[in-house]
Amino acid sequence: MRLSDLQMKMVINIQDGKHLGVIQDAEVTETGNINYFVVSERHFFKRLFKNQVETNILIKQIVKIGEDVILVDL
């Protein structure tokens, strides 16, 4: 699966059902392992008028990757 495929999926926290946003970027080591994904809100106007909140999601926090969503346990 490519990063561009993951960037199309919504990221949902299973603890409270909150939509965290979408994957914007990934932190990758020199050996090619992914340390974490950077998730932020997709809404353009919200990003214009307030500080953009970014959440780092570790690989071990991902519970399930589905067709439309990524479920995480934060």
The CATH number of the domain holding residue 63 is 2.30.30.240
User: pLDDT tens-digit profile of 5-28?
Assistant: 888 999 999 999 999 999 989 999
Other C-beta atoms lying within 10 Å of the C-beta of residue 12: 20
Sheet holding 54-58, edge to edge: 54-58, 34-40, 19-28, 10-13, 69-72, 62-65
pLDDT of residue 53: 73
- Residue 66 sits in which domain range? 3-72
Contact between 53 and 40 under an 8 Å Cβ cutoff? The reply is yes
How many structural domains does the chain have? 1
pTM of the complete model: 0.80
Average pLDDT, stretch 36-46?
75
